[in-house]
Amino acid sequence: MTRAILWDMDGTLIDSEPVHAAAFDESVAALGLSFPPDFHDRLLGRSSAEVHQAVAEKAGPDFTYQDWMDLKWGHFTRHADNIRRRDSVADIAVAKAREGLPMAVVSNSTADEVELCMQATALNQVIPVRVSRADVQNGKPSPEGYLLAAQRLGVKPENCLVVEDSLVGSQAGLAAGMRVLYHPQTAADDADALPAGLRYLPPDADPAPVIDEMLR
């Protein structure tokens, strides 16, 4: 029986991806750089360190990770008022919290970004256990974040359900030995070729009954 839910944050519980995208576009523009229109989409689910690495290939070796974080954070906070819950998923988290089900957020975002997003949507009051990129040595698709969340909740990995919107995060959940619901915001082109053990739910489907089924 599944005894805990581990939620991805960006794009799953919270509609923050447009804010990340705007902050990315403004940051690279400030550097005088240009990338293909779908470049940020291809980085969906990746850590800030991996995004920096991609930007630094054009910005040059003197452009440090801290340079990138300071630049992007300034643009990210300017758009904080646009951070919203994804009600179709967040309402499930609120209901499960009322039932007393152990839950955690596991994100590839920085600790500051996680706290800002959770506070902006009041979900910090619903899910007190949060694992950010700063808490682990390796971000998703490494399973470290999900394994740490399970440890903090005192629940075995095999008794955890992961809810993700990215394939990168879903791979992390599978590597942790957990049940995984992959519920992206846009339809997966390769839905028939997804990793074994992954439960795929199309964007327009209601996740509530599927989550209840996977919790049994």
pLDDT tens column, 55-93: 999 999 999 999 999 999 999 999 999 999 999 999 999
Helix (H) or strand (E) holding 112: helix 111-120
pTM score of the predicted model:
0.88
Say if residue 182 is exposed, middle or buried (CB neighbours under 10 Å; 0-12, 13-18, 19+): buried
pLDDT classification of 37: cutoffs 50, 70, 90: confident
The backbone region for 83, taken as left when phi is positive above 0, alpha when psi lies in -120 to 50, beta otherwise, is: beta
Q: Are residues 100 and 185 in the same domain?
A: yes
Q: Give Cα 94 to chain centroid, integer Å.
A: 18
Q: How confident is the model at residue 1 (pLDDT cuts 50, 70, 90)?
A: confident
The mean-pLDDT minimum among 23-27, 41-45, 135-139 falls in 41-45
Q: Tell me, yes or no, whether 40 and 102 share the same domain.
A: no
93: domain range? 4-16+83-215
pLDDT at 56: 95
- What would the two tokens of residue 196 be? 């074994």
Give pLDDT tens digits for 165-179. Answer: 999 999 999 999 999
The total number of structural domains in the chain stands at 2
Distances 203 to 70, 105, 184, 188, 200 between C-alpha atoms, Å = 33, 20, 6, 9, 9
Structure tokens at 86: 């994804």
Whether 87 and 173 share a structural domain: yes
How far apart, in whole angstroms, are the C-alpha atoms of residue 72 and residue 88? 28
What is the chain's length? 216
Same domain (yes/no): 196, 186: yes
Pair 161, 60 in one domain: no
The last residue of one of the domains, among 54, 81, 108, is 81
Indicate the residue among 52, 81, 110 that finishes a domain: 81
12 shares its domain with 22: no
Please compute the mean of the pLDDT values over residues 179-204 and round it to a whole number.
89
Does 119 lie in the same domain as 61? no
